[in-house]
Amino acid sequence: MATDIQLKTKFSLNWGHYIVMAFVLFMIFIGSFVYRVQSNPKYDNELVVDDYYKHDVHFSDELDQYQNTEKLAHKPQISTSAEGILLTFPSDIDSQKVQGKVSFYRPSDKKLDFEWPFSKTSPTLLIPKSKLAGGLWDITVSWQYEEQSFLMKQTLYY
């Protein structure tokens, strides 16, 4: 009988043991969750920009280009139509002297990102809807006109 009482007191759990067990179980849960997310290709951990250090070096250039665009009396317009996305340059810009590119960034899927170069176009540029999946797009238009660079960004739901 004395040994039974000694065994009970020797292996009894107090509240400190329960707290430690709760922490251990929580850490196991978090560890398994992180492992499942990291090993599943469904949860792709992609960066917004692959070479973000190189991208940040040119940030001041982009800022200057954006400020050049803000100084324009009439800015190019991005709109949607039944045929696709339409980029329209204002009449005070000679579209024959414009060259640049339109970058389409899809936040939800990097595989859908693409660029559309243009040069010496008509006042309007149409990106056909066959190139676009429905959803949210971050559109960046960068162009050169009369030896000056311009940049315009817009978020659009198509």
Mean pLDDT of 44-66: 75
Q: How confident is the model at residue 70 (pLDDT cuts 50, 70, 90)?
A: very high
Q: Given CA atoms 41, 45, 48, 50 in this order, what sign does their dihedral have?
A: negative
Mean pLDDT of 54-60: 76
Is the CB of residue 104 less than 8 Å from the CB of residue 128? no
CA distance 156 to 138: 6
> pLDDT per residue over 113-141, tens digit each?
899 998 877 888 898 988 888 888 999 99
pLDDT at residue 32 tops 90: yes
Rg (alpha carbons) of the chain, rounded to whole number: 29
